[in-house]
Chain A
Amino acid sequence: MKAQPIGGRLISPVTLVLSVLVLLAVFFAAQRFLFGFGSVANINDGFPWGIWIAWDVVIGTGLACGGYALALLVYIANKGKYHPLVRPALLASAFGYTLGGISVIFDLGRYWNFWHILLPNYQQYGSVMVEVALCVAAYILVLWIEFSPVLAEKFGWKGVQAFTDKWMFLAIALGVLLPTMHQSSLGSLLIVFGYQINPLWQTLFLPLLFLISAIAMGYAVVVFEACTASAGFKRSLKDELPLIADLSKVMAWLLVAFILLRLVDILVRGEIGAMFTSGFKSFMFWVEMTLFTLPVAMLLSPSAKRDARTYFLAACSMLLAAVLYRIDAFLVGYETGPGWHYFPAVPEIMITLGIVAVEILGYIIFVRFFPVLPGHSPDRAH
């Protein structure tokens, strides 16, 4: 299963639509930089963080945890059999994180000062955001180092190959440590918000809950990508299916841990009432918990079907659950006082969609030109 470029045409209805989305986002981004946030976004002083933080950064990097989650399995748990999945996952992670990092610029009001956060003479170490920013910046570098053998293979860079052969273990170790740190810290960001975050989400266990769900998201995304890539590029899934089955099971056990931790924590803090009395917030909590529980039922029950469809649906449910968990913690569960409302504006959503479009476009272009996906020739030539 040597990785190979899959070739094929670049211009297709899918890539055209994606390109239009990117152009629209560029237009609205220009507006944002010329006239301020108010011209494109609905963020306000009651909801200073909108989807550009909750989706682009918090969820975006969570969805980009495939590389991290697989590295845990392949290198730390020494499960070499998952190796064919590593390259596509790394690519998605590298794109996801790089775009997540870049998209922060859209959300920084005084973006020309952004470099302050990288310099020790400005950094304020009591701030959780410093930790997140440094870790994410470092991890973007590490991801591209981890991915560099693919580029070296394509372009025949012998020097790079020799260097990475020798030092890759360190990059991989950092590639596990850094996401462990910042994915948990994305949860810790909310602790200083105090009472403003509903007790269904506000807890000192935020970092652990964010971390577990991020790793589970990583496995779910790998399964999701393997399924959609095989459908989209018309490739057979039969070689990867046993791996997908095992990954799904790992994900299900992580979800069990997540659900138990969350419920016990709410119980111990004496906030069971909030599960039922917080109106829309309670409703969203139950939607989340249902979506978290579904994959467990689908994958761990004795009567579970063991086919690609089941794994795909379980992964989708998990991803939706984790996405909602993050949206709820950052937006739905946040209330700073009466009279504040937030729902993203259309241009605001278009900028986020544009960033997603860049990611998917980049992924398509890369797998066509570089040896990323496990090799077996396409079932049908394009």
Chain B
Amino acid sequence: MTLDRRNFMKATLGGSLAVGAAVALAPGDAQARANKQMPPKALGLLFDSTLCIGCKSCVKSCKEANGMPAEFSTQDRLWDTPLDISGKTLNVIKYYAEGTADHKDQEKDGYAFVKKSCLHCVDPSCVSACPVAAMTKNPETGIVGYDPDICIGCRYCVGACPFGVPRFQYDTATPRIQKCQLCKHRLPEGKFAACAEVCPTGATLFGPVELLKAEAKRRLEIEAGSLAVYPRGNIEAPYPSHEKPAPAYLKRIYGEKEIGGTQMLMLSGVAFAKLGYPDLPEQSYSSKSETLQGTLYGGMILPLVALGGLAWATKRTVGSHSDEKGE
């Protein structure tokens, strides 16, 4: 009673071979899906860490604009003190400090502030992961929005986001995902993102991503120490701007290329990895995942062919065995 290995391999690997071949061919296949492109009128933010003074006005205004509850991290529970974004907080300012922490925007013996909120990826992992399209990317504004009435609460988006942005509520029987939606509910009222609206230094600037990108490039070309003009609020209709000497920027716009680009762009004097923003490849993870799925299941062709073969094989063997029906 030894097993005919050749026969077995032929059959067992029938199904898995198809998977294997498809996986092996996946990169560069006809089904391959490239990174998605940003809509031309996409809206976003430009966060300039060197302008941020850590006043946290944006944290407060975000809570008000979005009706989010306070979150306490001190014993006396006197005021809203969120330590991170969460099911109750969509936006925080974090603090980087090293050594003596004497110099602003300096990696060694320096300090810096950084904004943590949704980056509104051009090709978001959360949208690709969501099984029911509760997480969506607006085709015009590019804002990544969330609809709790559709959401099943699987938290695939929470795990998938490379920036750890979507957060879940673990302390209620009716939990939701929470994330920044760029104040999309305020746009029809002619208002814009609350965080940018209140920012006193223009560290958080709202507007069309194309304009913000041009503004970021302009700043990177200013010589460190020379006087520069900084707009505040909405780049299309700015509040009175202010002047100050330009800092020594890192020559990099974070979000320009990372996993296919993001609609929140960032400038900094300190390496982004130190501020909690990892170095990421240009290919989006959603395109990788969807290319694989598309290769295996595109038009359901492979599965149907496999089903045909399997049905043929079983039709041939079913009933031919003496042990059938427990006999």
A residues whose Cβ falls under 8 Å from a Cβ of B: 1-4, 33-39, 41, 43-46, 48-49, 72-81, 83-84, 87, 107-111, 113-114, 116-117, 122-131, 133, 149, 153, 165, 168-170, 172-174, 176-177, 180-181, 184, 188-189, 191-196, 204-205, 207-208, 211-212, 215, 242-243, 246, 249-250, 253-254, 334, 336-337, 371, 374-375
Contact = CB atoms under 8 A, between A and B. Distances in A.
A1 B327 CA distance: 6
Interface residues of B, number: 83
B130 A36 contact: no
A191 B19 contact: no
B100 interface: no
Nearest to A44: B170
Contact of A191 (B10, B27, B173, B292): B292
A36 B159 contact: no
Contacts of B128: 126-127, 192
Contact of A48 (B7, B158, B276, B286): B158
A48 B178 CA distance: 14
B23 A195 contact: no
17 contacts: A3-B326, A4-B326, A36-B172, A38-B170, A45-B167, A109-B169, A110-B153, A113-B132, A114-B152, A117-B152, A123-B133, A127-B128, A191-B292, A195-B162, A254-B12, A334-B159, A375-B326
Contacts of B276: 337
A36 B170 CA distance: 6
Contacts of A37: 170, 175
A153 B26 CA distance: 47
Contacts of B125: 192-194
A110 B280 CA distance: 32
A38 B311 contact: no
A34 B311 contact: no
Given A76-B12, A80-B323, A110-B175, A191 B285 contact: yes
A204 B26 contact: yes
Contacts of B156: 127, 129, 189
Contact of A195 (B152, B278, B297, B319): B278
Q: Which residue among B1, B128, B160, B306 has the maximum number of chain A CB atoms within 10 Å of its CB?
A: B160
A169 B314 CA distance: 5
A107 B325 CA distance: 38
A208 B23 contact: yes
A205 B20 CA distance: 8
B285 A371 contact: no
Given A45-B86, A133-B131, A207 B152 contact: no
A174 B307 contact: yes
Contacts of B23: 204-205, 207-208
B14 interface: yes
Closest 5 pairs between A and B when the two form their complex, measured CB to CB: A109-B153, A80-B321, A83-B323, A3-B326, A110-B153
A124 B152 CA distance: 13
Contacts of B12: 72-73, 76-77, 215, 250, 254
B323 A84 contact: yes
Nearest to A338: B276
Nearest to A85: B323
Nearest to B18: A180
